Amino acid sequence: MQLVKRALGVVTALSQESAGLSLQQLADRLEIPEASMYRLLAVLKEEHFVTRAEGSRRYFAGPAAWEVGNSTRRSGHLAERSSGVLAELADTVGEPVLFTELVGRNAVCTGRFGPEHEAPLSARVGRTLPFHAATAARTLLVGMEEHRIRRLLCGSDFARYRPRTPRGVHDVLHHLFLARRNGYGVSYDEYDQGIWAVSAPVRGGTGHVLATVTAAGSEHRMNQAARRRARQLVLEAAHTLGSELGHRGTGGHRPCAS
C-alpha cells in the first residue's frame, strides 16, 4: 500500500509542475529516500506514467498519466493560464486567436481572444471542432501515430462544410504531413467560408501536444504578407507557451508557401 501511495504522490506532484522536477526535488518534497525514489521512477517511467526530457534531469508526468487525467481535468485550464500571451498575440496580429485542447476524444475550443471583424468564426469557447475541417483541431494530431489518428477519426462522417473541406482520412493525413514538415498547419475555406487560418502545436515537457494556438481571418484581410506575419507570430506564441510548460524543443521551422 505504501508503494502505491508513493507512486500516486509522484504522479500528482509532476502533474502539478509543468516545468518538471528533478529526482532530488521529488525525494525532498515527498520525503522518500533518493534510492527508493530512483527505483520508483524507473518503474513509473517503464509504464509511461513518468518520462524524462532528453538532455535533462527533470521528470514530467508521462503520456499514460495524461491519458488517465485528460477526460477529467478541467477544460480551459491551460487557456486561462495562457491568456496573457494569447491576448497579446490577437492584438499584434489584429485577428481572432483560438486556443484548442484535446478533451477526451474531442477537440474543444477553450479560449478565444481578439476582434470579431466582418467574417465571424464558427469557433466559440466550449464548442467542439471537427478534426478533418478545422486546422485548430487537426493540428492537435501532429504528434500522434497514424493508427491512433485513424482510430480517432473512425466513425467520422467527414461533413463537407465547404468545397475545400478534406473528404477522408487520406486528406487529413496529408495535411498532417505538411504540418509536421513545416511546424504549423494551415487551412483556407475548409470550415468557415473565406477564412484562412494557421495553427501551431503547444507541447509540454514530454514533447506531447497539449493544445494548439490559431490565428484566423478573412481572405480579404489576410494577404500574403499578413499570412507570413501571422505564421511567424503564432509559432513564436506556441513556442513561448511550450517553454513555460517545460518543453525544450526548438521554435524554428522551415518556410512554406501556403
**Does residue 108 sit in the same domain as residue 179?**
yes
**Does residue 27 sit in the same domain as residue 104?**
no
**Range with the lowest mean pLDDT among 100-104, 110-114, 251-255?**
251-255
Could you give the CA distance from residue 234 to residue 232 in angstroms, rounded to a whole number? 6
Whole-number pLDDT of residue 160: 94
Could you give the CA distance from residue 191 to residue 165 in angstroms, rounded to a whole number? 7
**Does residue 15 sit in the same domain as residue 140?**
no
Q: Is residue 255 in some structural domain? A: no
Answer yes or no: is pLDDT of 255 > 50.
Answer: no
Q: What is the mean pLDDT of the chain?
A: 86
Q: Which of 70, 104, 120 is the last residue of a domain?
A: 70
**71 pLDDT band (50/70/90 cuts)?**
very low
Q: Which of 29, 50, 70 is the last residue of a domain?
A: 70
Q: Which of 25, 47, 70 is the last residue of a domain?
A: 70
Q: Is residue 257 in some structural domain? A: no
With pLDDT > 90 as the criterion, what percentage of the chain qualifies? Answer: 52
Answer yes or no: is pLDDT of 62 > 90.
Answer: no
**Does residue 22 sit in the same domain as residue 97?**
no
Q: Is residue 12 in some structural domain? A: yes
CATH code for position 108: 3.30.450.40
Q: Is residue 250 in some structural domain? A: no
Whole-number pLDDT of residue 212: 97
Could you give the CA distance from residue 183 to residue 253 in angstroms, rounded to a whole number? 5
Q: What is the pLDDT of residues 109-150, one digit of tens each?
A: 999 999 866 557 889 888 999 999 999 999 999 999 999 999
Whole-number pLDDT of residue 67: 57
Q: What is the pLDDT of residues 194-239, one digit of tens each?
A: 999 999 999 987 788 999 999 999 988 899 999 999 999 999 999 9
**Does residue 51 sit in the same domain as residue 125?**
no
Higher pLDDT, 76 or 233: 233
**Does residue 125 sit in the same domain as residue 11?**
no
Cell 486556443 belongs to 99
Domain assignment of residue 43, given as a range: 2-70
Q: Could you give the angle at the alpha carbon of 179 between the alpha carbons of 74 and 193, nearest 5°?
A: 80
Look at residues 195, 191, 199 and name the one whose alpha carbon lies nearest to residue 133: 191
Mean pLDDT across the stretch 41-66?
77
Q: Is residue 119 in some structural domain? A: yes
One-letter amino acid at 256 equals C
Answer yes or no: is pLDDT of 156 > 90.
Answer: no
**Does residue 101 sit in the same domain as residue 16?**
no
Q: Is residue 61 in some structural domain? A: yes
The residues facing 22 across adjacent strands are: 58
**Does residue 137 sit in the same domain as residue 93?**
yes
**Does residue 66 sit in the same domain as residue 85?**
no
Q: How many domains does the chain have?
A: 2
CATH code for position 27: 1.10.10.10
With pLDDT > 70 as the criterion, what percentage of the chain qualifies? Answer: 87
Q: Is residue 249 in some structural domain? A: no
